[in-house]
A and B are shown apart, each in its own frame.
Chain A
Amino acid sequence: MKLATYRKKSPWILHYNAGGCNGCDIEILACLAPKYDIERFGMINTGNPKQSDILLVTGPVTKRSRERLVEIYAQMPEPKVVVACGACASTGGVFRGMYNCEGGVDQFIPVDVYVCGCGTRPEQIIDGVVQALAILEQKNKDMEASVRLNTQPIAEDEQLNRRHVAASITPTPTV
């Protein structure tokens, strides 16, 4: 048995609310509670970016939380995956285009899995996280392939290009 197969068995979660209504957060907490028991996959809600693998983001990114989101993402050591939980985190949802909102999470950090719903169901979240684990394993392999992360970064991710797309969107002028 290869040691590498165990690597996706211990995903530690960091949960960040970028400015949502708390609906999705309640659902995430429900995942940890006995009924859904996400810990059977070895998941722990760490609340600490430095020891986490999966960043669960809920809510649309508000102007105030934008920099914090990027900072927290930057503090997570690679390999890491981002799961956008709920409609708001994926696209901005009902808050899209509001004066204080910047839209979806993917405008600022690369997102690997989008989970739909307003608010998301625990089953969906679990499904999203399990999909994220597959991506995490792939990233793990990518990392192994590269000799050193510093000199040879992970292969260009298509998701990253969304940044350019995001940059080209001009905000609609307020009336």
Chain B
Amino acid sequence: MSHTFIAIILIILAPFLGGLVYGLERVIRARMQRRIGPPVLQPFYDFLKLADKRRMVVHSAHAFLGIMHFVSLWYALGVFLLGGDLILVIFLHLLYTALIILAGYSTRSIFSHLGANRTALSIIAYEPVLILIAVSMYMITGSFEASAAFHHPQPLLYKMPLAFVALLLVLPIKLKKSPFDVAEAHQEVTGGVELEFSGIYYEAVYTAKWLDYIFSYTLVYLFAGSNILLGIGLMLFTFIYLNALDNATARVNYKQMLRFSLGVSFSLAFINLLINSLS
């Protein structure tokens, strides 16, 4: 019962925790560059500021899809944290990303379209790897439920190290970090799909990014099974790794990203799956 309780608390606090992770990330990234960086609570200042801005939309459908993107992501995260079916969670996760892609397509903005196309391609890059990881977990735990992985006595990491490496390689795509941040690509496509959102409507997309952090770190945590300490260690490691990678690498183009992800990450996850199925 206590697990459910913790999960519910986590779900409710998810946007706050995600914001905190994002704030810490900005600080850590600044420190890595020998800067002071913004305060840890900076994302929340941004949040409050955005609420005050004048409300402007391109058209209602676009703004509405952005809001639903946030809501459905929160929902997918909820299903995940409550130990729902992993395949369903990954599908839901895929589809909530589809909502923001649709929002991008619904306007007549070049950069929105470019960003939507690139987001769609990044889905192709990371989604198969996530499903392979889910199936590898199924082979070990015997159930597609995420709760089975949460309660698995032995850390899954020992049996699927390659899958963990594959996850580490696709997480930058998902979180839009260098070198795989083509979907957002700061000045190159001025934020991609996020471009046309402003004020309180951008807030939804901005907060959805925070939720994405929680989603990704929960995926990392899955590898620790019921070992909480290892789980925290893995999350910390991933956190440092992601920021170091973000600081140290330059953006690759989408073709290189697809080739790398489907070539290397996917193969790693697949080899892991084969080893699991043969042993």
Q: Are A and B direct contacts in the complex by CB distance below 8 Å?
A: yes
> Which residue of chain B is the closest to A7 with respect to CB atoms?
B49
CB distance from B38 to the nearest CB of A (A): 5
A41 to B36, CA, bound (A): 10
- Is B30 positioned at the interface, with any CB of A under 8 Å from its CB? yes
- Asked if B195 and A50 sit within 8 Å, CB to CB, the answer is yes
Q: Let me know if A167 is at the binding interface, CB within 8 A.
A: no
Tell me if B117 is interfacial: C-beta within 8 Å of chain A: no
Stretch at the interface among A32-40, A100-108, A124-132, A158-166: A32-40
From A41, A50, A53, B49 is in contact (CB under 8 Å) with: A53
Residues of B within 8 A of A9 (CB): 39, 42, 45, 49
Any chain B CB within 8 A of the CB of A145? no
In the complex, what distance in Å separates the CA atom of A143 from the CA atom of B53?
Answer: 9
Complex Cα distance, B51 from A140, in Å, reads 12
Stretch of B64-72, B78-86, B90-98, B186-194 lying at the A interface = B186-194
* Interface of chain B, main secondary structure: loop
Residues in chain B near residue A40, CB distance under 8 A: 30, 35-38
* Other-chain contact of A77, B37, B54, B187, B191 (Cβ < 8 Å): B54
A169 at the A/B interface (Cβ < 8 Å)?
no
A10 contacts B33, C-beta separation under 8 Å: no
Report the separation of the CA atoms of residues A6 and B186 in the bound assembly, to the nearest whole angstrom: 25
Question: Within the assembled complex, what's the spacing in Å between the Cα atoms of A42 and B55?
Answer: 22
Say yes or no: is B197 at the interface (Cβ < 8 Å to chain A).
yes
Residues A10 and B46 in contact in the complex (CB < 8 Å), given A34-B34, A37-B30: yes
Whether A70 is near chain B, meaning CB under 8 Å from some CB there, is no
- The size of the chain A interface, using a CB distance under 8 A, is 26
Contact of B38 with A6 in the complex, beta carbons under 8 Å = no
Q: Could you give, for residues 16-52 of chain A, a 1 whenever the CB lies within 8 Å of some chain B CB and a 0 otherwise? A: 0000000000000000001001011110011110110
CB of A140 within 8 A of CB of B46, answer no
For B206, give the chain A residue with the smallest CB separation: A51
Q: Does B202 contact A (CB under 8 A)?
A: yes
Is A98 located at the chain interface by the 8 A CB criterion? no
- Alpha-carbon gap, A10 to B33, bound state (A): 21
Given A40-B36, A47-B187, A50-B197, A10:B42 Cβ within 8 A: yes
Q: Are B202 and A50 interface neighbours, CB within 8 A?
A: yes
Nearest CB of B to A156, in Å: 18
| Cβ contact of A51, chosen from B55, B187, B197, cutoff 8 A | B197
Q: How far is the CB of B271 from chain A (nearest CB, A)?
A: 40
* Cβ A42 vs Cβ B39 within 8 A: yes
A143 — nearest CB in chain B belongs to which residue? B52
With an 8 A cutoff between CB atoms, is A3 at the interface? Answer: yes
Distance in angstroms between the alpha carbons of A9 and B43 in the assembled complex: 10
Additional pairs, 14, CB under 8 Å, beyond known A41-B38, A42-B46: A6-B45, A6-B49, A7-B49, A9-B39, A9-B49, A39-B37, A46-B190, A47-B190, A48-B190, A50-B56, A77-B55, A77-B199, A78-B53, A79-B52
